[in-house]
Structures are given as structure tokens and as C-alpha cells.
Structure 1
Amino acid sequence: MKIRHAKKTDKNQILPFCKNTFRWGDYIDRVWDKWLAEKNLLVIEEKDKTLGICNAAISPNQVWIEGIRIHPDSRRKGYASKLVVAAENIARKKKLGFSRMIIADNNKRSLKMARSLGYVLEDKWWLYNMPPKKQHTTAKLAKSAKNLEHLIQSDTYSESWNWLPLTKTTLSKLARAGRIITYSKNKKILAMGIWNKSSRLDDDMMQLGYIYGSKDGIKPILQFLQNKGFEEKSNRIQLLIQHKINLTMRGLDRRMLFCLMKKEL
């Protein structure tokens, strides 16, 4: 058994067993070339047969573990755990502090594996879908991160299915990039959201990777995103957020609950 970095020639062996991972299919074919170019895509093989893959996305002080796929004939043999450990070792060599991964709340087998490797539940995140729609809203893009610190109520935010540390410095960078949406009333900022123009997985999908604030402030931010999606001709809008949205909005569809798992390295 050997773990190595993926090669271009691995693609034809791997993609066939990554077609039906989920009810809707899989996304590995859409990210393969990007992951391969980043040179952190790992392959596990035995006797020249490719058994599985795992991507180790590197960001400041963290490795994000994603895309674990094992051939159906080789599952439940510990190969996924070996790939995770190999990804962690890459992070340790780079002196990164944390490893994180996201797992569906109903995927008990993967959650058990993560816990056996020392991962703990950091937070839970909900996935919602929402249609683009022409809307009138008083929410707007923040010009700076001033007076937003009280709305940082999480250690992380989602950057296209990659959860990254959310700090004051990060917030300032996001504001300069025009990615912070705020809603204010009587000169007081009541809510804040972080949006992604597109997803790494789907160019025609807009995302919201964080939202926090009052109920009265959250709705205008969602309407802002709907309007932005309408203007950008996005096919749909995806929300990844920590709390259930207690709002009545046409088309707002709660889909799944996910567990954000974390390990100190």
C-alpha cells in the first residue's frame, strides 16, 4: 500500500468510481484539474491499483480535507483514515496548526472515523437553497470592516465549501473585496453576511458563506443576495450558515445539516 501525489494518468481510474457518490452524482470531475494543479491531491494505491483519493487544501495555518473517495470494493478497510493521516502529515511539515473537514450530519460512519482520528465537533452548519430574484433591499456592501467585530460570532466562514478562519484581518480583506453585506437601522449595523460570487464547484451558483444578526437584518441581506444573483444571472443561490433561518421567504429551502470537524495538529 502506498500514498502518493496524484498524477494526470490517475484520472481515468478514479472518476468512474466517483460518479454516484451522492444522489445527484459527484463533483470530483469538475475540480480534478484544479486540485491536480495545486499538487495536494493524494492517491492511495496497492499493486498499481488506485483505491482512493483525498485532497488537502492548504490555507493559512490550516489544512482543509475534502473529496475523500474510496473504490467500492475497497471500503471499510481503513484507507480513508490513512489518506486523512497523510494529509495531516503534509500540514505538520508546513507547520500548520489545524485540520478541518465537513461531514453530513447523517453520515455516521464518516463521523465515527473522524472522531477516531482525534477530530471534535467544532460547529454545525445548515445548507439552504434560494432562487435568484429581483428584489428591493436596503442592505448594502460594506466599505470597511469598521463596527463589524460584534457580528463575528464564529471562528470560521465558508469559502465555497472550504471553511476558513474568520478573524478581524480576514473581515477587513473581505470588505475591501466587496464581499461583506450589511444591514443598518438608525445608524446601527444589525446584521452581516459574507458572499461568494461563485462556487469552486459551479460557476453559475452564488453562495453565502456566513450570516449573523437580528431577524430584521438577515432578511434584507438574503434579498440583497437574491437580487445580486438575478443581476449576475446565477442559476441558484446556496446558503451555508450556522443557524436555522426563522423567516418566511418564498423559495427558501432548508436542505441538510453538516458537522464541521476540527483537530489541532
Structure 2
Amino acid sequence: MKPIIRLARKEDKPFIEEIARLTWEGEDYLARVFENWLKDGNLYVLELEGKVIGTTKLTILPDKVGWLEGLRVHPNYQKRGFGRVLHNFILKKGKELAENDIINALEFSTYFLNKESIAMAKKDGFRTVERFYYIQRPLEEGEKSKLSKIDSSDELDYKGYIPYGWKFLHSCEESLEWLNRKAEIRKYKGYKFFYALVHENEPAFTPFKLLTESMKTLLPAMSFEARKIGYDSIDIMLPEDREDLIEPLKELGFKNWTDFKEPDVLVFRKEL
């Protein structure tokens, strides 16, 4: 029987949970975001002989970006070309959206050692447009912060892309409006930060100001928020052009999967 790709349905959740349980040693966020992604739309599954064995998602982001995420294939069905089938399908879907003037580009992010996905993307015309260091630190004693909002782009120290978990938004007014609707934005001792809600994305923290003093001051507030959502570390996406902060951040206890040898999160873009 040939596999079929269709829109995801509520009854697919057990299959999604199984894929998530067998991905990244059970730490995949796919099951947690499933219901929200289902409501958002453009969530597709690959079904073979009545079993969902793969997923892919296209999320509409500000500035007419189609964001690709959630590409998964059940471990028992990997190395059989199903990842390419899903990738080709979502590229075609992106082109259809571009023809209707809904988006004008496709983008996605991935870990730099995800060689298979990177090779597949480059072959299809994607290019690297931004790179980040994914940094982490253990929690400390937490303190409450206050709800806040983004008042203007001048508050944010991000030039091309603004991190929102593992999504990256164009630095533009539309993105600020989008973040004010969706992100959990907090203020503590004069500094602000935000993070993605756990039912939507991986909740890495985004400090407004990329300053050693800001990072240090916000540690108790970010620790409090991390515990509140069940996380045991403070995760931050540091732009490649802020390498000047690496040594100070090391002193604050931040670590990186590659020991800061090179940026390890890549953002790709393909114009349509």
C-alpha cells in the first residue's frame, strides 16, 4: 500500500505521542504542541497501512514567511525515503501558498549536525541566513517577575532575526505585534525577556538586551519561569555576532553543546 499525506486529525494523537516518545530520547516536544498545531492548521501526517508514521508542519509567520517545522519519521520507518516524501510535499504546499500571495519564502532552523536535513535543504535551494549559539545554564533560586509587553523595536538587541524558541522571526513591526499576542513577556528589575509557551514551541528565553548585566540580573526571574513550566535549565539563543558575550556568559555558568567552537543552530531560507 502506498503512503498518503493528509491533514492531521485529533485521533492521530496516539501515533504522534509514540513518535515523540521515540525521538530525542523522549524529549521531543511534538506531542505537547500537537493540539495547538492542529488548531493552527497546515499540520500534515504521513499514513501507511492505517498507521501515522511521519509528520510535517508549515506555520505562517510575520513578513510572509512559511516556517517549516515538525518534520518527523517514526524510527522504525527511517532510511526509507519517507523524510524526503514529506519534505517534497511541504515544499509544494509552500509554493501553493506563495502563488496565493500568502507567503514569499520558506524558512526553518535546525541543529548544525543534522546533516541529512541540511543536505536535503541545500539541494532544494535553501541557504543559511543566520546562525546562533544554543546556550544553557542550571536554574538558581527563582523570583517572580511582572507581565509586560514589547513597546518598540528599540528595546530588542536583535538585528535580522528575533529568537522565539526554535522559531526565528524577522525583526519588523509585524513580528513585534505577533510576539505581543503570543509570547509570555516578563519584566524584572528594569529588564525584559520573553519565551514561547510550552504548548507552542520549545521555551528558550529571549532577553531583550544582550548585555552581561541584563543576563545576570534576569537569572532569578528566568529560573522562576522555567520551573513554572517544568524546565530544569535556562536556554537562550545567542546570535553569532554577539560572540563578545561568550566569555562573560561562561562565567555566569552558561554552557554550549560544542563548547562555543562554532554556532550550532542554523536558520535557512528559500525565496519563492
Matches of 1:172 and 1:48 in 2, distance apart? 41
Aligned match of 2:219: 226
What's 2:261 paired with?
none
Given candidates 168, 179, 184, the residue that maps to 1:163 is: 168
Change (3 A) 1:74 1:220: same
Distance 2:68 2:49 in 1: 25
Helix, strand or coil: the match of 2:205? Answer: strand
Q: Deviations over 1:164-210 (max 9, x none)?
A: 111255457768999598xx9xxxxxxxx973245435999661277
SS in 1 for 2:80: coil
Question: Taking every aligned residue pair, what percent have the same amino acid on both sides?
Answer: 21
What is the aligned partner in structure 1 of residue 247 from structure 2?
246
Correspondence 1:101-112 to 2 at 5 A? 101-112=108-119
Match of 1:58 among 46, 57, 60: 60
Q: Deviations over 1:197-243 (max 9, x none)?
A: 4543599966127765xxxxx11121232132245463432101223
Q: Report the Cα offset of residue 3 of structure 1.
A: 1.2
Quick one: structure 1 residues 205 and 264, their matched pair in 2 at CA, closer, same or farther if it must change by over 3 Å? Answer: closer
Pair 153,24 (structure 1): closer, same or farther in 2 beyond 3 Å: same
Unaligned runs of 5+ in 1: 136-140, 185-192, 213-217
- Corresponding residue for 2:145? none
- What is the distance in 2 between the residues matched to 1:8 and 1:173? 26
Give the direction of change, closer, same or farther, for the CA distance of 1:240–1:87 in structure 2 (3 Å limit). same
TM-score, normalised on structure 2? 0.74
Mapped contact 1:126–1:242 kept (Cα < 8 A): yes
CA distance in 2, matches of 1:232, 1:73: 37
| Cα distance between partner residues in 1 of 2:122 and 2:53 | 23
User: 1:188 maps to which residue?
Assistant: none
Q: Secondary structure at the match of 2:251?
A: coil
Paired residues for 1:121-200 under 5 Å: 121-133=128-140, 144-145=151-152, 151-154=157-160, 156-168=161-173, 170-171=175-176, 179=185, 195-200=193-198
Aligned partners of 2:202, 2:108: CA distance in 1, in Å? Answer: 24
Q: What is the CA–CA distance in structure 1 between the aligned matches of 2:141 and 2:178, rounded to whole Å?
A: 28
Aligned pair partner of 2:95 in 88, 92, 97: 92
Q: 1:199 to 1:241 in 2, by over 3 A?
A: farther
Tell me the equivalent position of 1:3. Answer: 5
Q: For residue 80 of structure 1, what is the aligned residue in structure 2?
A: 83
CA deviation string 1:47-73 (max 9, x = no partner): 433231112112230111111111223
Cα separation, partners in 2 of 1:209 and 1:259, compared to 1, 3 Å: farther
Residues 82 and 128 from structure 1, CA distance in 2 versus in 1: closer, same or farther, beyond 3 angstroms?
A: same
Task: Give the secondary structure class of the aligned counterpart of 1:52.
Answer: strand
Shift of 1:33: 1.4
Deviation at 1:12, TM superposition (A): 2.0
User: Which has more helix, going by share of residues?
Assistant: 2
Distance 2:86 2:129 in 1: 21
Of 27, 30, 47, the match for 2:29 = 27
Structure 2 distance, partners of 1:26, 1:178, is 21
Q: C-alpha distance in 1, partners of 2:35/2:203?
A: 20
8 A Cα contact 1:211 1:241, kept in partner = no
Q: Secondary structure at the match of 2:247?
A: coil
CA distance in 2, matches of 1:131, 1:202: 23
* Contact residue 144 and residue 172 of structure 1 kept, 8 A: no
How high is the TM-score relative to the length of structure 1? 0.75
Q: Distance in 2 between matches of 1:82 and 1:117?
A: 13
State the shift of 1:152 in Å: 4.2
The structure whose residues are more often strand, as a share, is: 1
Task: Read off the aligned partner of 1:51 and give its amino acid letter.
Answer: I
Between the aligned partners of 2:93 and 2:192, the Cα distance in structure 1 is 29
Distance 1:57 1:239, change over 3 A: same
Which AA in structure 2 matches 1:239?
I
SS in 1 for 2:19: helix
Measured in 1, the distance between the counterparts of 2:163 and 2:88 equals: 23
Shift, 1:128, TM fit = 0.9
